Amino acid sequence: MRTLCASTLIGEFFVIGFAGLVAMKDPDLTTATVWTVSGIAMFLCLALCGVVTRPGGIALGWILQVALIASGFVVPTMFFLGAVFAALWWASVHYGRKIDEAKARFAAEAASSTPDAA
């Protein structure tokens, strides 16, 4: 699960950076505001890559997905991109868990089929 979720978060890292560039064109926003918010979100993406398998990691990822969708109020394209990444996040979590279960099952089968060395 970690690999799939981290891949999604790294993709989001870049999308947030590009959205920050687009948001800089808004005359109502200062450069400092745009890059403070974008920088925090980008940092969270990277930090979540390391804690996604710990308790609360997936929930924090969902909070990030909601924030990404909400950023559509500043950059309207982010409504669509946020929804796409939320779907990717769901798929990463869902199929990542299935892969982890399959790996554990195969490891248990391999351990039970090998004779013990005495």
35-88 residue pLDDT tens? 999 999 999 999 999 999 899 999 999 999 999 999 999 999 999 999 999 999
Can you give the pTM of this predicted structure?
0.84
54 Cβ partners below 8 Å, 6+ apart?
Answer: none
Cβ neighbourhood burial of 85 (10 Å; 0-12, 13-18, 19+): buried
What DSSP state is assigned to residue 53?
T
